[in-house]
Structure 1
């Protein structure tokens, strides 16, 4: 029994020494500790800290020493989640992706993916990096919020634009302040008409199930037509045609669109390029 207790204590001390060396950015000590054959747990935990702190050389060193790039620690957080939430280091994200990590892994409690984290931070470079690697644009967290709903709630126009251009679902509702609301309704309630216009152009519908207190259907039409200066009804018909075509090209919409030989006007229509002119 005493031997087992001593072994456990040694393992804990290994963890403490390795993590402390990573936190101090002491690469020399980390190498020395690796040479002493630390436990797998020590390597994995240290990798999470290196990712969290944005230390690419140590991340590479630890992975090459055998650390698991997809290791889950402290509530289901992987190195990719740690880097997305804290340091946001694109180089580390690209390295972890090259190691084959699961870009759609979510935390245990909040059920948020790395893409959720990137949106919440408002980091558009990180967002695009994750999307290019196959991140699920429509992943739902513990409140059924998609990355788009988080972006709309935070009035992050550039994040909304990226998600719509990459063909996310613009109608998925989630819980905002205790009520189940669609992204379109959240944008309207926050009087963000630039994002409202983007969502409508992306195919967002004002449905009966989404009506909330001050917004009746007639109020919606009046508000949008007065503030955005276009008629919603004809726009809906055009958008539903465009959305139907875009749905056929999921997933990795933009990559597939680049491979299709289309007339310029058709390519512009499907790609929804007018979103780039909304500021």
Structure 2
């Protein structure tokens, strides 16, 4: 949550400011800072200015409240201290006490008619401070004294309710709602309390917000994210299930055409959410309208990708099976003809790290399933890459061997004049020489040896126009 930090009263030591303090008698300030009650009483008997302020505007009363010293607070108020004096940051003694959470001091100040809605310079209120801290008794006390439950701070446009939800303070959320907190208010970032709850995965707050009238299908204007999509993207399957059970629409899309099902399919641990979404009527074959922001290193565009293609690219076997059982088309391609088989064979991210052995096993399992279902091992996607080109690039030898066994053509050229063998040996071809990503290529010697063993045409006879070789080897 993009939230303002609670203001911390700045107490500038008088020791370091002799030139600034020479014009004021700050003995009272110093005594309060030390917590010396006897010195404070003596100074007050001698009629020292009880409202004298240090350079940042903080008075002795504010400092006493900040120190959580109710005896000094009471003593200063009885001596005539201004309970609403503000320092340069807008902090009053009540705000300092709220940030500290001292109920006794809050009661003393409120009984002395402290302004319960006095704000900091960015409009943070005492109520926000105690809501953020999770101090239920303090929230109740301030509300009973007229705190504005719907006040907003000016930087983020957030309310006490939003702060309480973000902090997962369920008791405070309920209390604020009972006092009329606006459940549909939006921050400057276009977040509502329900969107914050979805981001946090706080089902208890989510239920209360829905009961109070939150719009379950509300849309954040900047990216068209809904609570369900936010929950799925944040990995909060239980919260997403809560929303589905309350009637959330599973087919709404964000600004890239991604549904909650797309986000759920990315993580193998969310297969239960995938099943829940399908069980609540999610379209199993929605297609994205933009390339995925998570796909910056994939080498191919994911514009037009389905959830199944997302799952295949991560080797999420259980998710792939669940999607197919729910009606997903295992052959549906992206706009540029990249198929689930293509991304399954190399993991969908050719410029990322090498895969672990377990990850390679998962990719092989998904590749095998798709081929068994009828995927064409020689189909070409974006850049005319076949599944074998991708597997050779990432050095997934088990997938290479399986694809060749199923009839994959080892001497197929992509649009840059590359064969699987030239890719495995990190050859720069005439057609690819100016493409930046070549710098990340490495020699996959075991893959090259395997391809030659399986019958690939040696480079010298293959027609590949070789320009240079990389020396890195894995």
- The corresponding residue for 2:177 is 131
Question: TM-score by structure 2 length?
Answer: 0.43
Following TM superposition, by how much is the alpha carbon of 1:161 offset from its aligned partner in structure 2, in angstroms?
2.4
1:50 aligns with 2:50: no
Partners of 1:218 and 1:49 lie apart in 2 by: 46
Following TM superposition, by how much is the alpha carbon of 1:102 offset from its aligned partner in structure 2, in angstroms?
1.1
Partners of 2:124 and 2:274 lie apart in 1 by: 46
Partners of 2:281 and 2:96 lie apart in 1 by: 52
Cα offsets for 1:85-115 (capped at 9, x unmatched):
23x2111111111112210111111111111
Extract unaligned runs of 5+ from structure 2. Answer: 1-22, 26-48, 265-270, 283-474
- The corresponding residue for 1:15 is 58
Following TM superposition, by how much is the alpha carbon of 1:219 offset from its aligned partner in structure 2, in angstroms?
9.9
Q: 1:191 to 1:121 in 2, by over 3 A?
A: closer
Partners of 1:154 and 1:53 lie apart in 2 by: 25
Preserved CA contact (<8 Å) 1:184 1:196: yes
Following TM superposition, by how much is the alpha carbon of 1:42 offset from its aligned partner in structure 2, in angstroms?
2.4
Following TM superposition, by how much is the alpha carbon of 1:120 offset from its aligned partner in structure 2, in angstroms?
0.7
Preserved CA contact (<8 Å) 2:65 2:105: yes
Following TM superposition, by how much is the alpha carbon of 1:19 offset from its aligned partner in structure 2, in angstroms?
1.8
Larger Rg: 2
- The corresponding residue for 2:208 is 162
> Structure 2 matches for 1:29-178, cutoff 5 A?
29-42=72-85, 45-86=92-133, 88-174=134-220
Q: 1:146 to 1:71 in 2, by over 3 A?
A: same
Extract unaligned runs of 5+ from structure 1. Answer: 235-279
SS of equivalent residue, structure 1 residue 51: helix
Preserved CA contact (<8 Å) 2:94 2:126: yes
Partners of 1:148 and 1:25 lie apart in 2 by: 34
- Between the two proteins, the alignment pairs up a number of residues equal to 225
Preserved CA contact (<8 Å) 1:193 1:228: no
Cα offsets for 1:110-154 (capped at 9, x unmatched):
111111011111111111111111111111111110111111112
Cα offsets for 1:213-257 (capped at 9, x unmatched):
55398999xx888522874249xxxxxxxxxxxxxxxxxxxxxxx
Moved over 6 A (4+): 216-220
Aligned residues: CA RMSD: 3.3
Greater CA drift, 63-72 or 158-167? 158-167
Q: Relative contact order: is structure 1 or structure 2 higher (C-alpha 8 Å, sep ≥ 6)?
A: 1
SS of equivalent residue, structure 1 residue 15: coil
Following TM superposition, by how much is the alpha carbon of 1:159 offset from its aligned partner in structure 2, in angstroms?
2.2
More helix by share: 1
Q: 1:41 to 1:230 in 2, by over 3 A?
A: same
Q: 1:114 to 1:213 in 2, by over 3 A?
A: same
Q: 1:11 to 1:166 in 2, by over 3 A?
A: same
Q: 1:224 to 1:170 in 2, by over 3 A?
A: farther
Question: TM-score by structure 1 length?
Answer: 0.70
